Amino acid sequence: MPPQLKALYDHIRYLYLGNRFFMGLAAVVVLSAMGFWWRPLFYLAILGLIALIAALFYDIYLLYGLSGKVTATRRTPKVLSLSDVMKVRIQLHNTGDKKISATLTDELPVDLQVRDHRIAFELEPQSDKELSYPIRPMTRGEYSFGNINLFLATDWQLAERRLEFPAAETVPVYPSIIQMQEFALKAKTTVPAEGRKRMRRLAKSYEFDQIKEYVLGDDFRSINWKATGRQNQLMVNQYEDERAQRVFCCIDKGRTMLMPFNGLSLLDYAINSTLALSNVILKRQDRAGLLTFSDKIGTVLPADSKPDHLRRIMEALYRQQDRQMESNYDLLYYASRKLLGGRSLIILFTNFESNYALDRVLPGLRRISKSHQLVVILFENTEVAELLEEPTTEVEDVYLKSTARRHLVQRSLMAARLRQNGIKVVLTRPENLTGDVINQYLELKRRGLV
């Protein structure tokens, strides 16, 4: 194609006819049709068509005068947070002397499944404007943004011209960093993750820290009588909490963890919770580790508390992929004996479909609990629980509610059977997972079991 024709084509393909042009064209068609009965209307239609085309070309001329005066840039977060709402900002600048009416259409990542993204706005002359819109990524990975498109129009609105600003970029979506920060702050306060009042520690280590004055609530058994005699007031020994304990988050990546709730799979709920819990573990000066498994052993990160260990955990969680296979708990037992290195607290995120599925893995879980402190995280089916709250109007509803109640009872029986075998259980809804797991860890710390 000759350069002149290519340049003309590039100009034309960015032009669009507006609704007002088609309304005027429709009026011309009606007048020309009525001209069959009254001839003057036909000539009026011809004059109207000429005026419409002239106005269209004038409108296009005005558009080309505006188009070189506008710039647009996108500002995205360096890292997106899984399942959290984050804002993308568009910076607009008008260097011209006329007000601009435009519609913004950003080329969003296909993972967001947004197909109707449009923001209409007006931009005053010689001014800047910032537009923002929320996004909520529901899968981990790299999200690719495309170009920024502005559709300019004048007050005539007979035509639109599309301006395309190159802004292609790729932004990674990591496990929920926002949730991690929120629960880290809550774990520092006297009111932990889900608002439960923190109780006094029941057990302590015997790592001596200092001697201090007795205050109401101190353990009488820790009174230092020699210091009391010298100071002529009650003095007590203060001990440090045990630190540097190994805590492993074990994530089942098998088929049963692919069940979605509110757009997020159980695996991703577990990944978000693991990141937040690992942060709390490290702030409590324990050592956090990670183990993932399905039909084979996946990622194994030894328990550590180095400054960059949280980043290593985050990178490992970011790269986890589900496997549509049955999980092998014999491999988990082997890993707990050979790879974890000594007695540890194991927090296992998993999901059992029925008591029969639990029967198959219960012997392996019992063997693990003999060598480690095991906590199994089970998920409640929130959609089934919500079904019980709906009104019953037909016989079919009675059967559905009966089935739902039976399913919930089964989950409670699974938890009871695990507790009977000496395994601690957290039965929780997916949306409450992180708070309940952190509370369980803090409870074990309080009881001196970690």
Both 105 and 192 in one domain: the answer is: no
Q: How many domains does the chain have?
A: 4
Residue 92's Cβ-count burial label (10 Å; 0-12, 13-18, 19+) is buried
CB atoms inside a 10 Å sphere around CB 161: 21
Structure tokens at 192: 């932990």
What is the structure's pLDDT at 405?
77
Both 362 and 395 in one domain: the answer is: yes
H helix runs in 170-284, sequence order: 177-188, 225-231, 266-283
Q: Model's pTM, two decimal places?
A: 0.79
Both 289 and 414 in one domain: the answer is: yes
The better pLDDT of the pair 425, 231 is held by: 425
Residue 7 domain flag: no
Residue 55 domain flag: yes
Residue 6 domain flag: no
Residue 384's domain is classified under what CATH number?
3.40.50.410
Structure tokens at 363: 């012997």
Q: Which residue range(s) make up the domain with 219?
A: 207-240
What is the structure's pLDDT at 109?
93
What is the structure's pLDDT at 186?
74
Instruction: Tell me the C-alpha distance between 378 and 374, whole Å.
Output: 13
Residue 51 domain flag: yes
Both 335 and 413 in one domain: the answer is: yes
Both 225 and 250 in one domain: the answer is: no
Q: Is the pLDDT of residue 259 over 60?
A: yes
Of 204-208, 222-226, 346-350, 446-450, which one has max mean pLDDT?
Answer: 346-350
Cβ atoms of residues 325 and 255 within 8 Å:
yes
Both 185 and 327 in one domain: the answer is: yes
Q: Is the pLDDT of residue 199 over 70?
A: no
Both 129 and 258 in one domain: the answer is: no
Amino acid present at 255: R
Residue 391 domain flag: yes
Model confidence at 201, in pLDDT bands (50, 70, 90)? Answer: very low
DSSP E strands in 125-165: the ranges are 127-135, 141-145, 148-153, 159-165
What is the structure's pLDDT at 439?
92
Mean pLDDT of 302-313: 92
What is the structure's pLDDT at 196?
43
CA 348 vs CA 17, 222, 365, 449: distances in Å: 60, 36, 10, 17
186-190, 215-219, 367-371: segment of lowest average pLDDT? 186-190
CB atoms inside a 10 Å sphere around CB 410: 15
Residue 312 domain flag: yes
Model confidence at 198, in pLDDT bands (50, 70, 90)? Answer: very low
Residue 8 domain flag: no
In whole numbers, what is the pLDDT of the chain averaged over residues? 85
Structure tokens at 152: 């300019």
Q: Is the pLDDT of residue 83 over 70?
A: yes
Structure tokens at 241: 């909490």
Please report where in the chains the tokens 């920060």 appear, as a residue.
181
Condensed to tens digits (0 to 9), the pLDDT of residues 387-430 reads 667 777 776 776 677 777 787 788 889 999 999 999 999 999 99
What is the structure's pLDDT at 291?
95
Cβ atoms of residues 80 and 143 within 8 Å:
yes
Residue 155's domain is classified under what CATH number?
2.60.40.10
What is the structure's pLDDT at 257?
92
- The H or E element containing residue 397 is helix 395-420
C-alpha neighbours within 13 Å on the C-beta side of residue 11? 10
What is the structure's pLDDT at 347?
96
Condensed to tens digits (0 to 9), the pLDDT of residues 107-148 reads 999 999 888 889 998 888 888 999 999 999 999 999 999 999
Q: Is the pLDDT of residue 63 over 90?
A: no
Model confidence at 203, in pLDDT bands (50, 70, 90)? Answer: very low
Both 170 and 260 in one domain: the answer is: no
Both 236 and 246 in one domain: the answer is: no
Model confidence at 243, in pLDDT bands (50, 70, 90)? Answer: low
Q: Is the pLDDT of residue 85 over 90?
A: yes
Residue 182's Cβ-count burial label (10 Å; 0-12, 13-18, 19+) is middle
1-10, 279-288, 309-318: segment of lowest average pLDDT? 1-10
What is the structure's pLDDT at 208?
53
